[in-house]
Amino acid sequence: MTQKNVQSISLIKKNSALLINFNRENKLNAIDLHMRDVIWEGLRLVQTDIQINALIFTSEVPGCFSSGADINDFGTAPSIQESKNARLERDIWGVLNNLDVPIFSFVDGIAYGAGFEIVLASDYIYATSQSRFALPEIKLGYIPAAGGSQLIIRRLPSSDAKRIVYTGEPISTDRLYELGLINRIIERKAFDTEIDILCKQLLNYDTKEIRTLKSKFVHLINTN
């Protein structure tokens, strides 16, 4: 296992999977510009290192997956045109939603805003029973900006999806499990073991084939 950057976010190679591990406890894993840089670095690594067979999001902080984007960074782009250019150069959410490896999220506690948007972009979601998920952007006069408004209407029945975005209120693990978004409800103490098992199991599959099939799958679901 190799580790890079031991601060608020880490990229960890485990067998052939890449873990993105949040660890900004004092800010409830709010995703700031530095964390976005590291996520982007991780996504680029998955794109360029063809040996990587999965991407796994998790958090070191008990009771917190991520509280969302760091609001201190909001509106810091000097102009709309520069925001557009920045997105053209580094479209984190576009790349994440078109990635050709399976994406897993292990969630314990709050997954709000961009935290929930990462979950919605994931293919497999494991969560503790006490986790809570929300898109609270509307409460602050804006809208989900990391794919949330588009992903949620595709991943959940429209009535629940729209209720979540319009009210900004959290939804429980149980409800998301009932609606089929969450795959398994597990305890936090089982995360490490489950990730170990998962990474070992993934070694039984041909990475090239996984990438070919996932690529075809996302192309079909994202362009229809």
Partner 1 sequence: MMSELNYISIDYKKNYAIVRYETNGDCWTEELLLEIKVACQKIQADQKCLSVLFMSDSKNSGFGWSKNFHLMTEECQAILNSALIAVEELPIPSFFLIQGITNLPAMEIALACDVRFSLDDTIISLIDKESNFQPSDFTFRRLAKFSHRSFALDLLLFKKSLNALDGKKSGIISEIYNSKGYLSAIEVVLEQITNYGAIAIKTLKDSMQLGEQVDLNTGLNIEHERTLQLQETDDFKEGIDAFLQKRPPKFLGK
- Binding footprint of partner 1 on the chain (CB under 8 A): 71-72, 74-75, 80, 83-84, 87, 93-94, 97-98, 137-145, 147-151, 153-160, 162-163, 165-169, 178-181, 221-224
Work out how close the CB of 139 gets to partner 1 at its nearest, in angstroms, rounded to a whole number. Answer: 6
Compare residues 208 and 216 and give the one whose CB is closer to partner 1.
216
Relative to beta strand 110-112, strand 103-107 is unpaired
Compare residues 108 and 137 and give the one whose CB is closer to partner 1.
137
DSSP state of 203: T
Q: Which two tokens stand for residue 45?
A: 């690594």
Rg (CA), the chain: 17
Amino acid at 142: Y
**Long-range CB pairs of 73-82, under 8 A, 24+ apart, other chains included:** 73/32, 73/33
Amino acid at 30: A
Work out how close the CB of 45 gets to partner 1 at its nearest, in angstroms, rounded to a whole number. Answer: 22
Q: Which two tokens stand for residue 100?
A: 């050709």
Compare residues 201 and 222 and give the one whose CB is closer to partner 1.
222
Compare residues 25 and 73 and give the one whose CB is closer to partner 1.
73
Compare residues 4 and 154 and give the one whose CB is closer to partner 1.
154
Work out how close the CB of 97 gets to partner 1 at its nearest, in angstroms, rounded to a whole number. Answer: 6
Residue 124 DSSP SS3: strand
Closest CA to 176 of 150, 143, 146, 152: 152
Residue 168 DSSP SS3: coil
Amino acid at 85: N
Work out how close the CB of 108 gets to partner 1 at its nearest, in angstroms, rounded to a whole number. Answer: 24
Compare residues 135 and 198 and give the one whose CB is closer to partner 1.
135
Work out how close the CB of 145 gets to partner 1 at its nearest, in angstroms, rounded to a whole number. Answer: 4
Work out how close the CB of 198 gets to partner 1 at its nearest, in angstroms, rounded to a whole number. Answer: 24
At residue 90, φ and ψ (nearest 5 deg) are -145, 75
